A and B are shown apart, each in its own frame.
Chain A
């Protein structure tokens, strides 16, 4: 979501401005720091208008996270990548110290962490995770040495996506370097595939 070149608030619909302001607040401070009043001020609207469009603070957070996850592109490997490279790219390819990659990973992590307190976010997390697991299942199938079948591949994919997300959180928290994370995910893929 970008502001118009003129930057005049009137050029962008108020809903879009509110959503952009809320998304910016989540990016900067996480879901916990979202304040409806501050969002309204940043969007140049009144607080009641925010409530009019989004119901309450939880509705606003939900809308911002939903849009962020929907907009985040799946990390893609290059066309001639090996099945292993594609698996690692799917699991950890989004991990990059480039700001936009970091933001996308941070938004997904905020979704996962906030879902604990909002069943609707839990449902969104489940849907998004299932989609990513399905991509990993497909990539596992292409991996010549992987021999997981049916339900087993789904369970392996679930474990790998969980492992990668756990490590991504450590990367976001400054506990793990991006290249170390990719190496670790590669090791997990090799170990699981070799079995």
Chain B
């Protein structure tokens, strides 16, 4: 694989991934094609194939993109100085429920690939990789909370992360479907946060 110009390639690739996420949010993975993505991004299908190789490669890349850009991941590299780890965790998980079209479309990719994996084992490795990465990010945030005293010391960070990310996934599905508002989803997450990651 030759390295494209470093200052242009990531931006072009990112625009294609944003276009993919927006299309999936509108109509799902069904009907997603390199040509449709190219049209949406104002470029050529050849460029889509260049970056992603195949329609399956596009779905896989979009899923990893959705994970890297997810509010609960981007907000958790480390709490700003002076803030408690637990507050940062709560803010980050609640930020997943946001009607901003970009956040919605990132959630829609997860939602689609998560459901699709039941029928397409080929997607499982990708789904497992992003789910594990997300759980690890959340678990690390819980441990920071334990370290700064904002989270109770006896919390099992890995288990709490598995449960909380599962809850965000399940509530996200309802929110995306219009069965819950973003606010209702955040409110429903609260008692779980309080129970699984009690304040220290």
For the complex, is B168 an interface residue (Cβ under 8 Å from A)? yes
Residues of B within 8 A of A116 (CB): 25, 28, 108, 111, 173, 176-177
Of B7-15, B82-90, B139-147, B187-195, the one with at least 4 CB within 8 A of chain A: B187-195
A57 → B minimal CB distance (Å): 11
- A93 vs B162: C-alpha distance in the bound complex, in angstroms? 19
Roughly how many angstroms separate A187 CA and B195 CA in the complex, as a whole number? 10
Q: Distance (Å) between the CB of A133 and the closest chain B CB?
A: 10
Q: List chain A residues, Cβ under 8 A from B115.
A: 30, 109-110, 112-113, 169, 172-173
Please indicate the chain A residues that have their CB under 8 angstroms from the CB of B108 in the complex: 116
The 0/1 profile, CB within 8 Å of B marked 1, for residues 99-120 of chain A is: 0000000100110111111010
Contact B177 A170 (CB under 8 A): no
The answer for the CA separation of A184 and B127 in the assembled complex, in Å, is 20
A: number of interface residues (CB 8 Å): 49
* Other-chain residue from A109, A184, A195 in contact with B195 (beta carbon distance below 8 A): A195
Q: Identify which of B61-69, B72-80, B118-126 touches chain A.
A: B118-126
Complex: how many Å from CA A108 to CA B149?
41
**Partner among A125, A155, A166, A187 whose Cβ is within 8 Å of the Cβ of B169:** A166
For the complex formed, measure the closest distance between the CB of B127 and the CB atoms of chain A, giving whole angstroms: 6
Secondary structure type dominating chain A contacts: helix
Q: Which residues of A contact B187 (CB under 8 A)?
A: 155
Ordered by A's residue number, 19 sampled pairs between the chains whose C-beta atoms are within 8 Å are A113-B112, A113-B114, A113-B173, A115-B173, A116-B108, A117-B26, A122-B179, A125-B179, A159-B167, A163-B163, A163-B167, A166-B173, A169-B173, A170-B114, A175-B124, A175-B127, A175-B131, A188-B163, A192-B195
4 pairs of A and B residues whose beta carbons are closest in the complex: A166-B170, A173-B117, A115-B177, A113-B115
Q: Besides the contacts A113-B115, A166-B167, A173-B115, what 5 more A-B pairs have beta carbons closer than 8 Å?
A: A159-B167, A166-B168, A169-B118, A169-B173, A170-B114
A interface residues with partner B (beta carbon < 8 Å): 28-33, 106, 109-110, 112-117, 119, 121-123, 125-126, 129, 152, 155-156, 158-170, 172-175, 184, 187-188, 191-192, 194-195
